Structure 1
Amino acid sequence: MAATAPPLIPPDVRSRLRGLRLLPQRASGNHGIGMHASRSRGAGLEFAQYRAYEPGDELRQIDWKLYARSDRFFVRESERESPLTVWLLLDATASMQQADRARRDWTRLHAAKALAACIAELALQQGDAFGLIALNGDGVQLVPAGNGPRQRDRLHLQLQALQAHGQWPAQERLAPIWERITGNDMVVMIGDGFDEAGIALAERLAKAGRDVVHLQLLTVEERDFPFRDGHRFRDPETGDELLGDGAAIRADYLARFNDAQRRLDARLQAAGIRHDTTCLDEPIDAPLQRLFARRGGGGA
C-alpha cells in the first residue's frame, strides 16, 4: 500500500493562518483606504453580519455595545465590493531541489509548495479566487483560477505532483502568464530569487499594474556558509562546478552574498514589490506573518 503524502500545511501552521489576511498593497494605505474588493466578508465599508471573536481579530472590529448586552465578544464583518484573484507563481527549476545537509528531506521546493498551499488557504478563507502557475524546464504548468474547497484540492494535487528540473522558461513560453493575470490580480512569486529572468518578470508585472509579492526561499547553507574543508560546489541548473576550500572562501562568499541580497531588496523596493526572504530553518508561515499579519495590515 502506497504511503500517504504528508499534508502540505502542518496543523500548527494552519492554526496560525487565522491571524493573517491577504491585503493588496493598494489597500494598505499607500493607494487608498479600506480592504480590497471581494465578495467575501472582511473589514470593508458595508456592514454585513456579526461573528464570534477569534484570536487575531482587530479590537476595533469588536462591537462593544453588543458585548455590553450579551457579555460576549462579536466582530462586525463587512461585505467587500469586488473579487480578488490571487495567482501563485512558483519557481520549479532545478535549483529548487536544493536542501541542507542537516535536513536532506526538506528541499526548497517542499517549502515552496507548503507556502503556496498556505496562501491558497488564506484566499479560500477570504472567499477569493486563486490559481497556480509553475515554471520549470517543461515551461508553464497551470491551474486556472477558481474558488472553493474543490479548487484547493485541484491545486494541492498539482503541487504534490510538481517536480523541480530544468531552467527558467524562455520569454516566448511565458505567454500564459499575461493571458491569465489581469490588472487587479495579486501575484505571489515564490522561488530562490536567483534567476534574473524571474526578477525581470516580477518587475514587468509590477510595471503593468499587477500587485506583486516576492517570497525568496534560501537554504541555511546559503545564508551561513558553514563549510570548513574542501568542497565541490555545483550549479544544479547549468552544471557548472567550483572547487574550493570552505574556510578560505567563506568571508568573501558572505560579503558577496549579502551584497547581492541588498541589491535585490533595493531593486524590488524600487519596483514597488513587497518582498520577504526566509530560510529553510524558519517556520513555513514566517514570511506570511511578516507581510500579512492583521496587526500590521498589508506589510511593506
Structure 2
Amino acid sequence: MATPDLIPPEVRARLKDLRLASRRASTAQGIGQHLSRARGAGMEFAQYRAYEQGDEPRQIDWKLYARSDKFFVRESERDSPLTAWALLDATASMAQADALRPAWSRLQAAKAQAACLFELACRQGDRFGLIAVNGDGLTVVAAGQGNRHRDRCLLALAQVEAKGVWPDETVCRPIWERIRAGELALWLSDGFDETAVQLLERLAAARREVLGVQLLTCEERDFPFRGGHRFVDAEDGHELLTDAPASRAEYLARFGAARRALAARLAAAGIRHVEYVLDQPLDAPLRRLFAQGKARFAEGA
C-alpha cells in the first residue's frame, strides 16, 4: 500500500523552520536534539559533583583538582530524544466540514497536522507515535523512530474514520501506559467531549506535556446560515430547528463563551491550547505552539 502524503508541498516547505520541543525535560537516553536533565557525558556542561568510585578518570576536572586538591567530576546534559504523540480525536463530530469545502473535514485537517508532527519528529531523530480515539476504541501505533516508522503512522492515520463518541475511562486506559511522564502529547480535537478534557487534565497533572489544537469549522465561527435551518448533532442525533438569522447573535455569544471557558480550563491545567479554523493555513497551530528555530516554546498564544 502506498504511503499517503497528507502534507501539501507548500506546508512541507514551511516546516523547515519549526522544531519540536518540550517544556518538560526528558529523562530518556539516546541521540536527539533536546537537552535532558539526566546527567552524564554529553556536550553541554551542567555541574560539578564529588568523584565517586566507578567514575571515568576522563570526567575528572584536573585543573580544579590542582586548585582544590579534591576530585570533582564534570557532568553534562545528555542529548536525548523527545517522544511526541499525536492524540487524535476521531469521534463522529470530527467528520464535520463546511458546505463550501465538504472534502476538508476537521478529521482531515487533524490527520494532516498529525502528519506534520511525525515529519518534524522524524527529521529531528525523535520518537513519535499515534493514538486515535473513536467509538470503536483506540488505534495505537507505538512510539518509534525513522522514516519507516513514519510511514507506518501515516498508513494507520489513513485508515482512521470518524465514528461514535469518546469512550469511557476503561477503554482509554492504554493511553496512560503509552504516554509516559515527560513525553509530549498533541491533542487534535473539536474539544466537545467532556471525558476527553478530563483525560487531558489528568495527563497534565501526571507530568505529561499536553498541547491542544481545537479544530473548528468556518460555519461554527461565522454562523452564515439563512432562513430556517435544521442542525443535527453528529454524535447523539439530536436535532434543532431554528430561524438562523434570529439565532445568530445568541449562538455566537454562547459559542464564544464556551470556547473561552475551555481555554481557561486547559490553561489552569497547564495545557497550551490554540484554535484552528478550517480556512486557516494547515501549519498555523503548530507555529503558534512551537518556537521557530529555538529549543523552547514560543511565548504567548
The TM-score normalised by the length of structure 2 is: 0.81
1:211 is matched by which residue type in structure 2? E
Aligned Cα RMSD in Å?
Answer: 2.3
137-146 or 6-15, which deviates more = 6-15
Contact 2:35 2:80 in 1 (8 A): no
Cα gap change, 1:295 to 1:110, in 2 (>3 Å): same
1:125-171, Cα deviation, whole Å (9 max, x unpaired): 11111010000011111111110001000001011111110000111
Contact 2:93 2:234 in 1 (8 A): yes
1:82 Cα deviation from its structure 2 partner: 2.2
Structure 2: distance between partners of 1:8 and 1:195: 26
1:286 Cα deviation from its structure 2 partner: 0.3
Cα gap change, 1:13 to 1:84, in 2 (>3 Å): same
Contact 1:38 1:127 in 2 (8 A): no
Q: What is residue 40 of structure 1 aligned with on the other side? A: 32
Q: What is residue 104 of structure 1 aligned with on the other side? A: 102
Structure 2: distance between partners of 1:156 and 1:180: 18
Q: What SS does structure 2 have at the residue aligned with 1:86?
A: strand
The TM-score normalised by the length of structure 1 is: 0.82
1:266 is matched by which residue type in structure 2? A
Structure 2: distance between partners of 1:262 and 1:128: 33
1:293 Cα deviation from its structure 2 partner: 3.3
Contact 1:41 1:80 in 2 (8 A): no
Paired residues, what number? 261
Contact 1:98 1:219 in 2 (8 A): yes
Structure 2: distance between partners of 1:37 and 1:256: 47
Match of 1:290 among 274, 288, 291: 288
Q: What is residue 220 of structure 1 aligned with on the other side? A: 218
Unmatched runs of 5 consecutive residues or more in structure 1: 28-33, 48-78
1:38 Cα deviation from its structure 2 partner: 5.9
Unmatched runs of 5 consecutive residues or more in structure 2: 37-41, 45-76
Cα gap change, 1:238 to 1:96, in 2 (>3 Å): same
Q: What is residue 248 of structure 2 aligned with on the other side? A: 250
1:227 is matched by which residue type in structure 2? F
1:201-225, Cα deviation, whole Å (9 max, x unpaired): 1101001110100111000001111
Do residues 91 (structure 1) and 89 (structure 2) align?
A: yes
1:43 Cα deviation from its structure 2 partner: 8.0
Q: What is residue 141 of structure 2 aligned with on the other side? A: 143
1:202 is matched by which residue type in structure 2? L
Q: What is residue 60 of structure 1 aligned with on the other side? A: none
Structure 2 counterparts to residues 157-236 of structure 1, below 5 A: 157-236=155-234
1:163-202, Cα deviation, whole Å (9 max, x unpaired): 1100001111011101111112111110100111111111
Q: What is residue 66 of structure 1 aligned with on the other side? A: none
Q: What SS does structure 2 have at the residue aligned with 1:14?
A: helix
1:121 Cα deviation from its structure 2 partner: 0.7
1:84 Cα deviation from its structure 2 partner: 1.6
Cα gap change, 1:15 to 1:120, in 2 (>3 Å): same
Contact 2:165 2:235 in 1 (8 A): yes
Contact 1:93 1:167 in 2 (8 A): yes
Structure 1: distance between partners of 2:277 and 2:292: 23
Runs of 4+ in 1 over 3 A off after TM superposition: 41-45
Q: What SS does structure 1 have at the residue aligned with 2:102?
A: coil
1:86 is matched by which residue type in structure 2? A
Structure 2: distance between partners of 1:122 and 1:293: 13
Structure 2 counterparts to residues 271-282 of structure 1, below 5 A: 271-282=269-280
82-91 or 265-274, which deviates more = 82-91
Structure 1: distance between partners of 2:43 and 2:278: 41
1:81 Cα deviation from its structure 2 partner: 2.4
Q: What SS does structure 2 have at the residue aligned with 1:112?
A: helix
1:46 is matched by which residue type in structure 2? M
Structure 1: distance between partners of 2:174 and 2:85: 12
Cα gap change, 1:141 to 1:218, in 2 (>3 Å): same
Percent identical across equivalent pairs?
A: 56
Contact 2:35 2:79 in 1 (8 A): no
Q: What SS does structure 2 have at the residue aligned with 1:111?
A: helix
Cα gap change, 1:128 to 1:6, in 2 (>3 Å): closer
Contact 1:215 1:276 in 2 (8 A): yes
